[in-house]
């Protein structure tokens, strides 16, 4: 299959690219620095562009069989909360997703898999109290943008799946999936989430559903890990 990964240079985006390439798929990687990160990598066609711009999204979506959206803000959640993001629009998730959805409709591309965050939408009431405090104090703008993003996805007429990971890490925690909002632990590796994104994009599972992704059962992560939940990618 030909699969576009939007936000491909973020941690989860890169993991999705790796999972797709490992599965033998042709990957187009869209990001502002895609050629710097993926230039020369077999199986990956890097496209330098901005997902919030209609022309860039249109060119990248054309000819694809499926699209993965893994947009986020790489800067510290504390910095974003206090001063706003420096190089990325605060609403990059919702704006970029809306632009990509419009391009998919234009070119007849149906399969859409979007990374959101656990604790948004239908899993909002299942978030632990400690995490609700983190969301309210540090991640409020990012969570608000995820809420808008999910609404864009749900209102589309595409074959969509929303993926809601818990706290993201750079470890090796394996992924556990659920469609009822239950989670086995409150942290999961970007690598594992990327593999879930890749698997969903190249199949027909869980269309029109929200998939929660967690890792091995364990204690809640510390403050540093908490800042890397919805604040990053």
Mean pLDDT, the chain, whole residue set: 86
Q: What is the DSSP letter of 87?
A: S
Q: How confident is the model at residue 28 (pLDDT cuts 50, 70, 90)?
A: very high
* Residue 127: predicted pLDDT: 74
The confidence score (pLDDT) of residue 3 equals 98
Query: For the segment 57-77, what is each residue's pLDDT rounded down to a tens digit?
Result: 999 999 999 999 999 866 555
187 vs 92: CA distance, rounded Å? 24
Residue of higher predicted confidence among 177 and 153: 153
In CATH, which superfamily holds the domain spanning 2-226?
NAD(P)-binding Rossmann-like Domain (3.40.50.720)
pLDDT computed for residue 107 by the predictor? 98
Render pLDDT for 126-157 as a digit per residue (tens, 0 to 9): 877 777 676 656 567 788 899 999 999 999 99
Q: Measured between alpha carbons, how far is residue 97 from residues 178, 187, 223 in Å? A: 23, 25, 29
Tell me what pLDDT residue 174 has. 80
* For the chain, domain boundaries: 2-226
- 84: confidence class by pLDDT, cuts 50, 70, 90: low
Compute the distance between CA of residue 162 and CA of residue 164 in angstroms, rounded to an integer: 6
Q: How far apart are CA 203 and CA 90, in angstroms?
A: 31
Phi, psi for residue 112 in degrees, rounded to 5: -130, 125
- Six-digit token pair at 14? 């890169």
pLDDT band at 125 (very low <50, low <70, confident <90, very high): confident
pLDDT score, position 229: 42
Per-residue pLDDT, 173: 74
Size of the chain in residues: 233
Q: Which strand (E) or helix (H) includes residue 211?
A: strand 209-214
pLDDT at 228: 41
The pLDDT score that the predictor gives to residue 77 is 56
State residue 171's pLDDT score.
Answer: 86
- The residue among 29, 32, 1 whose CA lies nearest residue 194 is 29
Residue 49 has pLDDT above 50, yes or no: yes
Q: What is the 8-class DSSP label of residue 90? A: T
Question: Rounded to whole angstroms, how far apart are CA atoms 137 and 32?
Answer: 29
> Measured between alpha carbons, how far is 92 from 152 in angstroms, rounded to an integer?
13
Average pLDDT over residues 199-218: 89
Q: Are 192 and 173 in contact (CB under 8 A)?
A: yes
Q: How confident is the model at residue 204 (pLDDT cuts 50, 70, 90)?
A: very high
| Cα dihedral across residues 99, 32, 192, 3: positive or negative | positive
Tokens of 21: 């390439």
CA–CA separation, 172 vs 216, rounded Å?
Answer: 10
């Amino acid at each position: 299959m030909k699969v576009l990964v939007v936000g491909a240079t973020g941690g989860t985006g890169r993991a999705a690219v790796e999972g797709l390439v490992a599965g033998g798929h042709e990957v187009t990687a869209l990001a502002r620095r895609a050629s710097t990160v993926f230039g020369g990598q077999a199986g990956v066609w890097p496209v330098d562009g901005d997902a919030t711009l209609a022309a860039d999204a249109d060119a990248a979506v054309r000819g694809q069989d499926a699209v993965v959206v893994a947009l986020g803000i790489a800067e510290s959640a504390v910095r974003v909360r206090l001063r706003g993001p420096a190089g990325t629009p605060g609403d990059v998730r919702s704006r970029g997703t809306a632009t990509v959805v419009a391009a998919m409709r234009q070119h007849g591309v149906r399969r859409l898999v979007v990374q959101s965050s656990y604790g948004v939408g239908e899993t909002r009431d299942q978030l632990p109290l400690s995490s609700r405090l983190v969301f309210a104090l540090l991640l409020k703008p990012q969570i608000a943008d995820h809420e808008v993003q999910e609404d864009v996805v749900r209102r589309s007429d595409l074959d969509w799946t929303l993926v809601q990971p818990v706290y993201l890490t750079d470890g090796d925690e394996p992924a556990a999936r659920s469609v009822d909002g239950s989670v086995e632990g409150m942290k999961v590796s970007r690598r594992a989430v990327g593999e879930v994104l890749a698997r969903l994009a190249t199949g027909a599972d869980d269309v029109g559903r929200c998939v929660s992704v967690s890792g091995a059962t364990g204690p809640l992560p510390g403050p540093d890990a908490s800042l890397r939940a919805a604040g990053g990618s």
